[in-house]
Amino acid sequence: MAQVRNKQVILSNYVTGFPTESDFNIVESTITLELPEGSNDVLIKNLYLSCDPYMRSLMSEGPARKGSLSYTPGSPIGGYGVAKVIESGHPNYKKGDIVWGFTKWEEYSLVSAAQIVTKIENSDVPLSYYTGILGMPGMTAYAGFFELGSPKKGETVFVSAASGAVGQLVGQFAKLTGCYVVGSAGTKEKVDLLKNKFGYDEAFNYKEEPDLDATLKRYFPEGIDIYFENVGGKTLDAVLSNLKVHARIPICGMISQYNLTEQEGVKNLSKLIYNRVRLQGFIVSDYYHLYPKYLEFLLPKIKEGKVVYVEDIAEGLENGPTALVGIFSGRNVGKQVVVVARE
């Protein structure tokens, strides 16, 4: 079989501090669209790629590296994506299936079946949703808020990075549960989205709040029951001084810290004691067994318009590095997706 072009996004060097576009190269390699003899892997055509904060940790050299997923200079970077099966050596998948899972930033990838989270059976929502609301970020919001947050009607919820891929859902889940929810974001446009699109009760631009402790006291005079932690650092410190007794803090990420060579110190941890607070880190892949339950919960709500989702779409793999780098300065509005191909 003939070889075809396989455009790739390559890590050019290990990253220190904020990633920039020069940390990535676009190269054109070639690939034979045929599985090796006897392979039980799956050959896929990548359609939509997901830009997610955790990817920063895969770009570093040294102890922060997270096992086999970490990137190596000279090789294509990886991440979650939606893809079409070209050829399959594994009984669970066949040619033409649409799947989502962990793939590489290139036009075609050879992946193991273990990298595929699931086949996509429902196609009357945008396929790109499986990089966001119906993919890893959606499951992160669902598992973090419902499983770790244990929300009850009438409780108070604070969400940082609230207009992002995860935060916009946490706010809507909180409202569906009957909670009071406040979100923070970094631009006026995002704050407007939070209030007018996602149904947050209140929202503020953290860049315009010189005293975050005072801001939180204004929005939560009685304190916070659940803080959905996406950012870490100074925000966490201010939250620690504004918690209710038995508060819960699910931690899915600390994006404010990922690009610092030295982490900010969090000073108010002793507040956890008297308030009996549970602070719990989690990795979404531990909760993928709940995915069918999540689809059952969410798909009807998407179709009825009761849960909405905002995406920021970059067209073309060659625009991937710019899109990816942008999420670390909050340039994206909503979930950042890169379209490689539409089918």
**Token pair for 11:** 């890590």
**Token pair for 237:** 């410190």
Q: Is residue 286 at the binding interface for a second copy, with CB under 8 A as the rule? A: yes
Ranges within 242-261 binding a second copy (CB under 8 A): 251-254, 257-258
Q: Check: CB of residue 278 under 8 Å from CB of residue 226.
A: no
- Looking at the Cβ atoms of 123 and 270, the one nearer to a second copy is 270
What is the rounded distance in angstroms from the CA atom of residue 72 to the CA atom of residue 66? 12
Q: Which residue has the tokens 């993919």?
A: 135
**Contact characters 169-208, a second copy, x per CB under 8 A:** ----------------------------------------
DSSP summary character for residue 256: G
What is the rounded distance in angstroms from the CA atom of residue 247 to the CA atom of residue 240? 10
Q: Is residue 327 at the binding interface for a second copy, with CB under 8 A as the rule? A: no
Q: According to DSSP H, which parts of 71-187 are helical? A: 136-142, 167-176
Q: Is residue 308 at the binding interface for a second copy, with CB under 8 A as the rule? A: no
**Which range, of 9-17, 121-129, 177-185, 277-285, touches a second copy by CB under 8 A?**
277-285
What is the rounded distance in angstroms from the CA atom of residue 241 to the CA atom of residue 199? 26
What is the rounded distance in angstroms from the CA atom of residue 237 to the CA atom of residue 235? 5
- Looking at the Cβ atoms of 271 and 331, the one nearer to a second copy is 271
Q: Residue 261 CB, nearest distance to a second copy (Å)? A: 11
| The amino acid at 82 | V
Q: What are phi and psi of 286, to 5 degrees?
A: -70, -15
Q: Is residue 288 at the binding interface for a second copy, with CB under 8 A as the rule? A: no
For the residues of 218-261, what is the DSSP string, one character each?
HH-TT-EEEEEBSS-HHHHHHHHTTEEEEEEEEES--GGGTT-S
Q: Which of 84, 197, 244, 278 binds a second copy (CB under 8 A)?
A: 278
Q: Which of 135, 232, 321, 334 binds a second copy (CB under 8 A)?
A: 232
**Which range, of 166-174, 194-202, 217-225, 270-278, touches a second copy by CB under 8 A?**
270-278
- Looking at the Cβ atoms of 38 and 221, the one nearer to a second copy is 221
Q: Is the dihedral of CA 328, 333, 335, 341 positive or negative?
A: negative
Ranges within 15-74 binding a second copy (CB under 8 A): 66
- Looking at the Cβ atoms of 192 and 264, the one nearer to a second copy is 264
- Looking at the Cβ atoms of 30 and 263, the one nearer to a second copy is 263
Q: Which of 266, 308, 313, 333 binds a second copy (CB under 8 A)?
A: 266
Q: Which of 150, 268, 319, 322 binds a second copy (CB under 8 A)?
A: 268
Site size with a second copy, rule: CB under 8 A: 32
What is the rounded distance in angstroms from the CA atom of residue 245 to the CA atom of residue 43? 51
| The amino acid at 233 | G
Helix (H) or strand (E) holding 117, with range, is strand 116-119
Enumerate binding residues for a second copy (CB under 8 A). Answer: 66, 232, 236, 251-254, 257-258, 262-283, 286
